[in-house]
Amino acid sequence: MRRLSHVLSSAAVAAGLAGSVGVPSAAAVSDTVVAGSAGAVTFHPFTIPPNTGCVRWAEDNTYNCDPVNVVFPNRSPAQARDLLRAKGWTTLGLGSTQYLHFASPTLYLQGIQVFRADGRDDQGRSLRYHVRLWLVRGVVSTATVGAVHHEARVGFTDVIDRSWDASEAFLVGQLCTGACTGTGLLPKQHQMQGADGVWRGWANDAHATVIP
C-alpha cells in the first residue's frame, strides 16, 4: 500500500480545478510516447510542485516546473537509479517535492531523486545535476520517466543555470552507447512552452530520450 504522503487523490486534483467550468482533467494535459514493450507511456509534460511555484497552465490550473526529458522502458526507478550510480550519481542530497500524473488525474510524488556533483562555478557556487524519477502508472510493463536538470546553489535555494537540453545530453551521454532514441516532438510540452523553444529562461527542444 502506498504511503499517503506519496500520492494525492484525484479528489485533491479536482479541488485544484474548482471553479473552472469545462476544464479538462489533468490526464488530458499529457504527452504519450511508445517506449518499447512498455507500450504507450502517458505523462504530464512538466513536473508539478505542491504549491504555486514555476509556471501556471490555465487549461488545467497546474503549476509546471521541469520538463520530463528521459524515459526508461522496462526499468523501475530503482533500476534507473542503479544505472546512474554506476556513473557517479548518488541519492545523497536534498531536493524539493514534485509530482506527476499519468493515465489518470492522480498525482504521484517522485519515487527517487539522484544527484551528481559538478564542482563550483567562478562565483563559488556549488553545482550539480539532479534528476527526479517516477514509476509510470498505467503501462503494460514497468517504465520510468525522469526530469533532469543542472542547478547552482544560491543561498539555500537551487536555481537552474544550464539549458534543459544540455543536462539531458549529459545524462544521455553517460548511459547511451548508440542504442538510445529520441521521442520526437512532445506536442503538449511544446505547446505549453511556446514556439521559442525556451522554458523558464533555458532552451528545451521538447523532446525526450528513450534509454533502453
Report pLDDT for 23.
54
The secondary structure of the chain in percent helix, strand, coil, rounded to multiples of 5, reads 20, 35, 45
Q: Is the pLDDT of residue 4 over 80?
A: no
Q: Evaluate whether residue 25 is within a structural domain.
A: no
In a domain, 77, yes or no: yes
Q: What is the mean pLDDT of residues 55-72?
A: 96
Look at residue 19 and tell me if it is in a domain.
no
Domain assignment present for residue 184? The answer is yes
pLDDT of residue 59: 92
121 assigned to some structural domain: yes
Domain range enclosing 193: 30-210
pTM for the full predicted model: 0.88
Task: Count how many domains the chain has.
Answer: 1
Q: What is the pLDDT of residues 155-175, one digit of tens each?
A: 878 899 999 999 999 999 999
Position with higher pLDDT, 59 vs 15 = 59
Residue 29: the pLDDT is 94
Residue 87's DSSP bridge partners are none
Look-up: residue for cell 512498455? Answer: 38
What confidence score (pLDDT) does residue 125 get?
87
Specify if 7 maps to a domain: no
Q: Which pLDDT value is given to residue 178?
A: 76
- Non-local CB neighbours of 142 within 8 Å, separated by 6+ positions: 38, 74, 75, 76, 135, 136
Residue 22 has pLDDT above 60, yes or no: no
Mean pLDDT in residue range 168-195: 93
In a domain, 145, yes or no: yes
Q: At residue 201, does pLDDT exceed 90?
A: yes
Looking at residue 6, its pLDDT comes to 43
With respect to residue 2, please indicate whether it lies within any of the assigned structural domains: no
Q: Which residue from 44, 88, 7, 91 is spatially nearest to 192, judged by alpha carbons?
A: 44
